[in-house]
Structure 1
Amino acid sequence: MKKIPTMFERDWEGDRSLVIDRIHPGCEWVLAGEGVATRKIDGTCCMIRDGALLKRQEFKPGQPIPGDFEESGFDEETGKRVGWRPVGDGPEDKWHREGFANLAEKVDGTYELVGPHTQKNPEKYEVDILVPHTVHTLGIAESVPRDFEGLKAYLAEKDVEGIVFHHPDGRKAKIKKRDFGFKR
């Protein structure tokens, strides 16, 4: 799974954590009204492949990259490498293993690990579990604006991490509350 692009450009000349009112190249389809919007949930990205659980990891320039890392993307602007590592038996992967054990159907695909032990549990799950990254599971967010000011106002009022737009051809674009400087 490649990193989903943020639909607006970052403020590279000011605060890089914020976006500006300029569409990111390749995300014009969102402004054109194509695709559906789902709620972005706040957890940790994982993948099930051939019955095995992998965790998404990101490495900054200069960080050592482990031998079991499978790179799936490189960010030219930040120099970060993103990819997958197998979930192991160590204590650092305890909650990944628990979330996987709590999943009834272990179908290949990408998931979000959520629960009491992940990201301070802003989604308020009672157990650690993997939630599939599917439009059906995440639910369609109704009446989501698609322009900069509309999304900024919308996200200011919602208790969500953000929105992910899904194009029928598989493309995705995201926008988060924090991209506008809002805290959840």
Structure 2
Amino acid sequence: MDEGRKRGRPRKDPATLARWTPPEGWSRLVAWISPEEKKALKHVAVEADVSVADLVRALASGLATGAITHEELVGHVLRGKVVMEKIPTLFERDERFHVVDRPRAECAWVFEGAGVGTEKLDGTNVRLTVRSGHLVRVEKRRNPDKAQKQRGIVDGWYVDTDPDSGEDKWILAAAGNTDVSGWSDGEHPCEALGPRIQGNPLALTDHLCVPFDFQAPELPEVPRDYHELRDFLADLESRYSPGHLAEGIVFHHPDGRRAKIKRKDFPRAA
């Protein structure tokens, strides 16, 4: 704080907003944040010797002038959110959990022709955090158990892997074999694949991680009709590991929405 600047007197009524006339054209922004986020904002503001309001305005100014992009600011949050949310299956299901020819409302964009299809890789979901081309953190997906589901916890989350745990050995091997030197800084949701993961349906010889957002093979020729998709998936060869069947397809909308369909979702032909 500037030594020459005197500390102002406390307000008589702290609950009342201080009177201040904003410049012409300015507007007030109100947002709800978690205790952890509030603490982080205060910490950065103290380090920078500015108010939290000035810090928020600096972020907004950086976006307005192009000094920082929205991808840099919230990209890792959006990527994490997209992955941990359940990706809806294209069609409704029957009592045997097979899909039926009735598109789900939230997947209407797929049938309207939006987005692009990519191969759904059959492994285990992990998240790699990269800084300056180096891997700094490896996490794995944890799904809620039966008791947690009864309490209303339905979405999965990520937890750190343990180098001393035999359970995490092959995930860490996959992460260690993955070249992240060209990846952008941030958290990258991936599929960990390899000989000791999920039965290795693609018959890979090495363990590695494939990021969902930029390395999954594209399938531009994918049909978007129930019967055509069923026939297309029946013998769809993997683009990632030719000679083996692909597990399914994930459709990606430009705004981040996704939808999926797997070969085993369809009832077996009579």
Band the TM-score falls in, shorter-chain normalisation: 0.7 to 0.9
> Of 99, 106, 121, which residue of structure 2 is paired with 1:26?
106
Q: How many angstroms apart in 1 are the aligned matches of 2:142 and 2:105?
A: 25
CA contact (8 A) 1:60 1:81 kept: no
Q: Does 2:147 correspond to 1:62?
A: yes
Q: How many angstroms apart in 2 are the aligned matches of 1:170 and 1:80?
A: 21
Which has the larger share of helix?
Answer: 2
Question: Runs of 5+ in structure 2 lacking a partner?
Answer: 1-82, 131-135, 237-244
* Secondary structure class of the residue paired with 1:3: coil
Question: Runs of 5+ in structure 1 lacking a partner?
Answer: 65-73
String of CA shifts for 1:55-113, please: whole Å, max 9, x gaps: 1121243159xxxxxxxxx9x8xx74311111112110000111111011164211000
Q: State the match for 1:71 in structure 2.
A: none
Q: How many angstroms apart in 1 are the aligned matches of 2:145 and 2:100?
A: 24
String of CA shifts for 1:1-31, please: whole Å, max 9, x gaps: 22211111121xx202x11111122110000
Percent identity over the alignment? 37
TM-score between both structures, scaled by the size of structure 2: 0.57
Q: State the match for 1:105 in structure 2.
A: 180
* Secondary structure class of the residue paired with 2:180: coil
Q: State the match for 1:86 in structure 2.
A: 160
* Secondary structure class of the residue paired with 1:15: coil
CA contact (8 A) 1:53 1:87 kept: yes
The higher-RCO structure (CA 8 Å, 6+ apart) is 1
Query: CA-atom RMSD, angstroms?
Result: 2.1
Q: Tell me which structure has the larger Cα radius of gyration.
A: 2
> Of 130, 146, 151, which residue of structure 1 is paired with 2:224?
146
Q: State the match for 1:9 in structure 2.
A: 92
